[in-house]
Structure 1
Amino acid sequence: MSEQFNLDAYQRTLDTRVLQHDGHGLVLADTLCYPLGGGQPGDRATLTLADGRSLTVHDTRRDKESRRIVHQLDADAPLLAPGTPLTLTLDWERRYRHMRVHTCLHLLSVVIKAGVTGGNLTADGGRLDFDLPEGMQLEPQAIEQALNALIARDLPVGVKMTSGAALQAQPELIKTMSVTPPLHQPEIRLIEIDGVDLQPCGGTHVARTGEIGRVLVKKIESKGARNKRVVIALAD
């Protein structure tokens, strides 16, 4: 299976075919749909068959055993035979908002220099949890100003590849304390925000920080003696 979202996060339509379809879901030869993972929701899409019929992908997951991407359709959707051609059209507005929020969360980890213990995002906003040193205080207005300043610099966002061995030699790049990257793999994907950040990530991102738009720091919550949750939202 070709995972096109890793090659071009901006591609919106794809002609593909069915590999397998059963009660567990639909597997395609190629897909644009990002599967749930890394705090980013699974994509939604529309599938258009040659006869004009349309089916809705309401969630996308990765099978833990086979590692295939499985598209979840409505329970009453007809089973499609292997080889059936179709056109996949991504729910682009939702995906693009995920991309904007995800890149913003990377910038948030630049503004707040502490280990990340968890995170999540939606089409409206997201949050990161930080393991803060004793006595370190967070000021919402200062964080919001710093975030929007980085966004306004319109920095390029790109992908680099590294090996598990090389990443082990640079542990400072691993910001997330709750999830360890697959260091056994020969290739690991890094997201680079030019001049300010480089970290492992398998999610989808915008090409420049300016695309994020203005963001708000909605609240900061205590989630334990050292754990602080910072919640951000897209302003539009």
Structure 2
Amino acid sequence: MELIFRADAYAQRCTATVTAADDRGIRLDRTVFYPTGGGQPGDTGTLTAGGSVIRIVDTVKGDGADEIIHVPEPGTALPAPGTAVEAEIDWNRRHRHMRMHTAMHLLCAVVPGSVTGGQVGADKSRLDFNVPTGSLDKDAITAAINERIAEDRPVSQRWITDAEMEARPELVRTMSVKPPTGSGTVRLLDIEGVDLQPCGGTHVARTGEIGAVEVVKIENKGKQNRRVVIALVDA
């Protein structure tokens, strides 16, 4: 299956062919839809075949490494295998996820401690940190993130081998999610001069595209665990 979003996060639509459809959802030979994973929600959107429009309410991973299932609205008539469709994501929602996911990498870069969990949202997102000592300052973190956004640093991806990943454990900041290995390579998200770590999500091309963000809340979630919630200012 061709995962177009992996090479081009800005691709909003593509033509595709239905390869299977059952009670779990619809599979295509190629897709722009990102599946739920790494704390980022799956895309929503539509599949259009002729004059028929199928609303996709979620996208999830299937059984295979690259199998993606497009989940239609309940009660939708499923297309037959071989049907040609145009797949189109809800771009506004996806782009907000891209901005947020990139902002979370900046948050990860300015807050000390390992990450114990996280969730990307269209308006608000969170990261949980294991912070051994000291307290976190909401205003200082907000200022540090926005400073890096204003620098408009380039954001890119690159790949390293499983062996290289194993040799560089310091690249892994998230304790709760292990980088996917076994296929021979691991994708790294590189925010120039700020952050470099494994990530399979979708991101903007430059930090300036994120727009202003704000730390809206810091919560204690345990003796050393702190939850930092950020929001897009234009939400």
Shorter-chain TM-score above 0.5: yes
Match of 1:211 in 2: 209
Residue 116 of structure 2 aligns to a residue whose secondary structure is strand
Match of 2:35 in 1: 35
Q: TM-score, normalised by structure 1?
A: 0.97
Displacement of 1:47 after TM fit? 1.2
Displacement of 1:219 after TM fit? 0.4
1: CA distance, partners of 2:192 / 2:142: 20
Structure 1: gaps spanning 5 or more residues: none
Displacement of 1:168 after TM fit? 1.2
Residue 19 of structure 1 aligns to a residue whose secondary structure is strand
Note if 1:119 corresponds to 2:125.
no
Identity %: 49
Match of 2:84 in 1: 85
Q: TM-score, normalised by structure 2?
A: 0.97
Match of 2:103 in 1: 104
- Residues 6 and 65 of structure 1: CA distance in aligned 2, closer, same or farther (over 3 Å): closer
What do residues 84-129 of structure 1 show as CA deviations (whole Å, max 9, x unaligned)? Answer: 0011111000000000000000000110121000000110020000
Match of 1:141 in 2: 139
Residue 106 of structure 2 aligns to a residue whose secondary structure is helix
Residues 139-218 of structure 1 mapped to structure 2, 5 A cutoff: 139-218=137-216
State whether residues 168 and 183 of structure 1, in contact with CA within 8 Å, keep that contact through their aligned partners in structure 2.
Answer: no
Displacement of 1:66 after TM fit? 6.3
What do residues 42-78 of structure 1 show as CA deviations (whole Å, max 9, x unaligned)? Answer: 000111112x111100000002456510000022111
Residue 127 of structure 1 aligns to a residue whose secondary structure is strand
Q: Which letter maps to 2:27?
A: V
- Aligned residue pair count: 234
Structure 2: gaps spanning 5 or more residues: none
2: CA distance, partners of 1:90 / 1:74: 15
2: CA distance, partners of 1:80 / 1:4: 21
- Residues 65 and 14 of structure 1: CA distance in aligned 2, closer, same or farther (over 3 Å): closer
Match of 1:94 in 2: 93
2: CA distance, partners of 1:83 / 1:130: 47
Displacement of 1:185 after TM fit? 3.1
Match of 2:232 in 1: 234
